[in-house]
């Protein structure tokens, strides 16, 4: 125990201890200056330190999303990224980064999958542990999240996740266990959901028995933002810090009353406060308590790392006729068509992972910089990909005649006299998350709009609470109920119903948008009582434009066509799960690929999503590159792969099913509603990802876990395994050879399973891996280390980890479907309680 912390604790009154157990505001903890306790600042998020403003704040470096990092299969990159994230966090004056996110990819439609690493708990745990090491060896506290079983966004504040203890231990807790034991993160964030009937923030099994008990961890547990659901229960279970502040559950009055009633002891309050003070000490805030203004510092070392990590994670999935790479010599003087999202840098997903990047390199920019004047590029978008119509800004005057809108706040039910009026609001959207003045108020936006075109123009609107739009006093839109997905609204992906309004060029129209705070809202967390809305607008000519015909004509005249597909942050975001397995919007991207490939036989697809998608056109294209969300150097990293400057070495950290119906959680995602409660049952048990696909017909899998192509070829052979005498450890070796003509990297993957297969156990489980770089013709012996616990199963009856006596296959390969060498060992029974 720290003598400083204990001295401060002894000086604190009960009320002062209680005050430490919730945030001061959205990002900071509560200081007690008179007792020498400073505030410390936290910051999102997993692929960059965003700072304190959700949208348009201080610029920050955007690193590859976790799924892209995991596709490198190189924990060294994760540690280097962690170190760079620490440096970025310091520029935002924060001492705690809310990262990494490390829940498993249970289903391809999981909205936040991109922010997490893998379907495999071992791979996820190893990558996350190294991010934590990189952060903390550079003085920034890591916050691993979300603990636990948080694999969907639908009804995430209230959904009840039903999962067996075996699946929980082997799949969903395992990444956290690996990270806790190997990297000792200073903080853990609880998830929003219930687990087997109890909210995670009040879950004694998770927080007391497993986290602090069995794993022996002694850091700080904080809630997700708005994810505290009780006073005494969360305190007793082990939740140290309610975030954000001001508190909803831990007022001095509420906690003092709970102490007096015997619902929580003062000793528990002291222990919770001790953990807060310990974190403050471990991040050095007692010595230096300053929280200076945020800075935006572009570090060339970070830019280089981002480009390198991104290019190592980008995964080549198809390359018929070796159409790739497009070397400079091979394409000199040719015409290359760029289509789809070529001008958009899809660098991150939506929500906590979004930020105002220092810069963002689009694929078009990266390719033009790579090839210069040697190649003629033609561009045609070819498809509408927006999810939300852009907010109305142009042609609007506020009530004072200035450009923009007028915003007014009113007391609920009293809209005759505004409490506050603000002019020159830039557009027709209002997100109140950091505006405490909006709480429990009605908000009205007003503008005079002069259209530049005559026609039946398109509008779309949605609100957190009931919302109405009028044009010249006539109601053109009315949302009578609360948003079905409030977090989706906040994070930019709430679906909007489009409608049309007739406008004449040059005439003036008075538009008003009136939004109420949501009714009810006891389960709305940080959005309780907050109004908010957005209204989008698109001129008829732009909305109804025939984009596909133009793209088709461009493709005909090009030697090579590269179509960029993917999800913008509005389509793949925290707050909601994917709309569907096919690329949005309304089949437009699939139609674009089909059309381009029908007129150009040299069609290459570069897809930027954090998840597997439907590929109905796969047989018609020459190449498919999965770029994930690769960070601010996206276009340069993609160009490195396309041009052959970098030999692709990314390998899938997820299985890629052909059809959504083939996913193991299909039918149990996102669950069923009964009596107003959404419940999702993890009925697939431990058979998640490849553990399921190993047991079904191969034709159900588009691309197997661990798969990825290269511009060269490799072989893995002569696998050998030796168990250390009378220990739980194994040493394995395999010989890897570059059998092609280009230097490159592959990943040696080692899976372990029973020789005599059992329906109760996976056929094989990833237990070790190593990425290795080889020159053409080079051969190398790769060493791997593993332990019994890396492939043991959890026996619910005895509450222990076990290995049954018998023969086990140790399978070496380059994917789950490409096993090239097998060593068999006879193992004795083993138990770990």
| Cβ atoms within 10 Å of 783's Cβ, excluding its own | 12
Start-end of H helices in 676-779: 690-693
- Cα–Cα distance, 227 to 777 (Å, whole number): 55
DSSP secondary structure, 6-49, as one string: HHHHHH--HHHHHHTTBBSSSSBBPPBGGGTB---BEE--TTS-
Residues 6+ apart with CB under 8 A from 304: none
Residues 6+ apart with CB under 8 A from 217: 180, 184, 188, 211
- Cα–Cα distance, 158 to 676 (Å, whole number): 10
- Cα–Cα distance, 309 to 307 (Å, whole number): 6
Residues 6+ apart with CB under 8 A from 553: 380
- Cα–Cα distance, 370 to 642 (Å, whole number): 10
Q: Are strands 533-538 and 429-430 parallel, antiparallel or unpaired?
A: antiparallel
- Cα–Cα distance, 116 to 610 (Å, whole number): 9
Q: What is the torsional sign of CA 201, 204, 208, 210?
A: negative
DSSP secondary structure, 193-213, as one string: SEETTEEGGG-HIIIIIIIII
Can you read off the two tokens belonging to residue 309? 């990590």
Do 278 and 285 meet the contact criterion of CB atoms below 8 Å apart?
no
Alpha carbon of 703 to those of 39, 58, 453, 505, 744: distances in Å?
Answer: 49, 40, 48, 53, 21
Q: Cα 160 to chain center, whole Å?
A: 21
Q: What is the torsional sign of CA 668, 673, 677, 678?
A: positive
Task: Identify the active-site residue in 74, 120, 224, 662.
Answer: 224
224 annotated active-site: yes
- Cα–Cα distance, 275 to 268 (Å, whole number): 11
Q: Which residues are catalytic?
A: 224
């Amino acid at each position: 125990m720290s003598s400083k912390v204990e001295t401060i604790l002894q000086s604190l009154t009960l009320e002062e201890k209680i005050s430490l157990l919730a945030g001061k505001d959205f990002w900071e903890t509560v200081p007690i200056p008179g007792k020498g306790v400073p505030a410390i600042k936290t910051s999102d998020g997993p692929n960059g330190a965003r700072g304190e403003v959700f949208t348009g704040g201080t610029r920050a470096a955007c690193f590859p999303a976790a799924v892209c990092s995991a596709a490198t299969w190189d924990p060294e990159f994760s540690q280097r990224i962690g170190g760079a994230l620490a440096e970025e966090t310091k520029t935002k004056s924060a001492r705690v980064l809310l990262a990494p996110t490390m829940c498993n990819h249970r289903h391809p439609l999981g909205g936040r999958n991109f922010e997490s690493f893998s379907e495999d708990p071992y791979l996820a745990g190893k990558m996350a542990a190294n991010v934590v090491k990189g952060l903390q060896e550079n003085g920034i506290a890591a916050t691993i999240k979300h603990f636990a079983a948080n694999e969907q966004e639908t009804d995430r504040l209230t959904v009840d996740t039903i999962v067996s203890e075996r699946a929980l231990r082997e799949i969903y807790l395992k990444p956290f266990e690996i990270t806790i034991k190997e990297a000792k993160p200073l903080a853990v964030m609880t998830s929003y959901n219930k687990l087997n009937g109890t909210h995670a923030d009040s879950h004694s099994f998770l927080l007391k028995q497993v986290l602090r008990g069995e794993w022996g961890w002694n850091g700080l547990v904080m809630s997700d933002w708005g994810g505290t659901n009780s006073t005494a229960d969360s305190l007793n279970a082990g939740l140290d810090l309610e975030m954000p502040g001001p508190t909803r559950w831990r007022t001095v009055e509420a906690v003092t009353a709970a102490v007096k009633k015997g619902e929580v002891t003062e000793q528990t309050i002291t222990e919770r406060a001790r953990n807060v003070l310990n974190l403050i000490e471990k991040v050095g805030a007692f010595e230096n308590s300053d929280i200076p203004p945020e800075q935006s510092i572009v570090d060339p070392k970070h830019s280089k790392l981002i480009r390198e990590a991104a290019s190592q994670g980008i995964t080549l999935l198809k390359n018929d006729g070796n159409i790739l790479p497009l070397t400079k010599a091979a394409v000199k003087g040719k015409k290359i068509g760029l289509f789809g999202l070529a001008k958009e840098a899809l660098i991150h997903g939506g929500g906590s992972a979004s930020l105002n990047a220092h810069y963002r390199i689009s694929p078009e920019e990266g390719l033009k910089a790579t090839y210069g004047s040697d190649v003629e590029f033609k561009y045609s978008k070819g498809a509408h990909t927006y999810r939300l119509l852009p907010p109305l800004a142009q042609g609007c005057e506020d009530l004072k005649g200035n450009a923009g809108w007028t915003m007014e706040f009113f007391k609920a039910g009293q809209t005759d006299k505004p409490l506050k009026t603000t002019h020159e609001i830039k557009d027709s959207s209002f997100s109140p998350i950091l505006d405490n003045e909006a709480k429990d108020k009605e908000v009205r936006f007003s503008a005079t709009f002069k259209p530049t075109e005559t026609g039946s123009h398109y509008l779309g609107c949605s609100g957190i609470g009931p919302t109405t739009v009028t044009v010249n006093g006539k109601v053109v839109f009315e949302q009578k109920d609360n948003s079905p997905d409030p977090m989706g609204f906040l994070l930019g992906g709430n679906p909007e119903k489009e409608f049309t309004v007739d406008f004449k060029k040059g005439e003036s129209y008075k538009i008003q948008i009136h939004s109420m705070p949501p009714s009810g809202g006891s389960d709305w967390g940080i959005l309780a009582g907050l109004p908010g809305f957005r209204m989008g607008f698109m001129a008829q000519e732009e909305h109804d434009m025939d984009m596909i015909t133009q793209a088709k004509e461009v493709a005909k005249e090009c030697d090579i066509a590269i179509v960029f597909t993917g999800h913008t942050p509005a389509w793949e975001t925290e707050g909601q799960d994917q709309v569907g397995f096919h690329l949005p919007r309304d089949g437009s991207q699939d139609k674009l690929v089909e059309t381009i490939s029908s007129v150009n036989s040299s069609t290459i697809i570069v897809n930027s999503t954090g998840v597997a998608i439907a590929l109905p056109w796969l047989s018609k294209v020459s190449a498919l590159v999965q770029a994930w969300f690769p960070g601010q150097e996206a276009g340069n990293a993609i160009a490195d792969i396309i041009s052959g400057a970098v030999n692709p070495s990314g390998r899938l950290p997820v299985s890629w099913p052909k059809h959504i119906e083939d996913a193991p959680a299909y039918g149990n995602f996102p669950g069923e509603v009964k009596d107003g409660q959404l419940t999702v049952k993890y009925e697939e048990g431990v058979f998640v990802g490849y553990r399921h696909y190993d047991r079904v017909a191969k034709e159900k899998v588009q691309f197997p876990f661990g798969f990825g192509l290269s511009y060269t070829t490799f072989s893995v052979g002569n696998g050998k395994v030796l168990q250390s005498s009378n220990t739980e450890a194994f040493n394995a070796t395999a010989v890897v050879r570059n059998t092609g003509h280009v230097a490159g990297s592959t990943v040696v993957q080692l899976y372990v399973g029973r020789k005599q297969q059992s329906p109760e156990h996976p056929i094989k489980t990833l237990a070790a891996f190593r990425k290795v770089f080889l020159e053409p013709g080079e051969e190398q012996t790769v060493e791997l280390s593993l332990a019994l616990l890396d492939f043991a199963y959890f026996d619910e009856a005895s509450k222990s980890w076990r290995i049954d006596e018998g023969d086990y296959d140790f399978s070496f390969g380059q994917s789950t479907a490409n096993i090239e060498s097998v060593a068999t060992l006879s193992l004795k029974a083993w138990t770990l309680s």
